[in-house]
Amino acid sequence: MASKLLRRSGVAVGLVLDQLKWIPDLVVQVGIGFFHEECDVLHQEWPNTKFIGFEAHPDNACKTKDYPGILINKAIWDRCGRAVLNSKSKHKDGSSFYEFKDNIDSVKEIEIEAITLDSFFNPEEVDNVLLWLDCEGSELSALFGASYLLQKVKAINIEMTANPPSLYWPSTIEVHNYLKYLGFFRQWIHTLRGGQYDAIYVRNELFKPEYCCCPYTIVEWKNKNGRKALL
């Protein structure tokens, strides 16, 4: 059962992108943790797609095995340099740059190296990218540091947290509005768990209203494309 639960986000992303008739050439994953079953699923479906994953926590990076691509033990942020990671003793996958509201005694600070996606990738050498963001509150910062790479990103799968464990995490509204500003439309949401869910955002040319779960997004897309929105 646990393996099926861990694979579900990969299955959801694969099914949605299959309906959109799109397969990425490169998957850039920010935040891997101990497990990567979601990428294993996608790798099986997309054997010709390249995977590059970034994991901030050194323990997670050391113990993560058989990742279906290149795994890099560096944090992704909006600037390069040394940064402090608040590491949870019992749930290292949930470690964050931001201080937690509760359980301070069970958290220790770890100094790590942080880079931006733009400092790692040459946008002239990549294309047709799926960006996967699951980085415990740093999703917006990762986007801020990826201005050039985003020009080659066609779809984004991003974890959204409505009730975050930190006072400093950006809200789902802030993240959503920034993705809209970048020109992405919310195609689907999946893997709901409490106040947390994953959302798939795609470029205008990939968006299909018949596979969209949000009527407001359909209105936005129709208006942008010069179509009268009737609901």
- The tens digit of pLDDT for each residue in 81-105 reads 998 887 776 665 666 777 777 765 5
Confidence of residue 109 (pLDDT cuts 50, 70, 90): confident
Has residue 226 got a pLDDT over 90? Answer: no
Is the Cα torsion angle 43, 48, 54, 59 positive or negative in sign? Answer: positive
CA-to-CA dists, residue 67 to 33, 60, 132, 224, angstroms: 11, 12, 15, 39
What domains appear along the chain, each with residue ranges and CATH number?
Answer: 2-224 (3.40.50.150)
**In the prediction, which pLDDT does 33 show?**
65
**In the prediction, which pLDDT does 36 show?**
62
Report the predicted TM-score, pTM, of the whole model to 2 decimal places: 0.90
- The tens digit of pLDDT for each residue in 170-214 reads 999 999 999 999 999 999 999 888 888 999 999 999 999 999 989
- The tens digit of pLDDT for each residue in 1-31 reads 335 444 567 889 999 999 999 999 999 999 8
Confidence of residue 71 (pLDDT cuts 50, 70, 90): very high
Whole-number average pLDDT of the chain: 87
Helices (H), the chain: 2-19, 37-45, 58-63, 117-120, 139-144, 172-181, 215-224
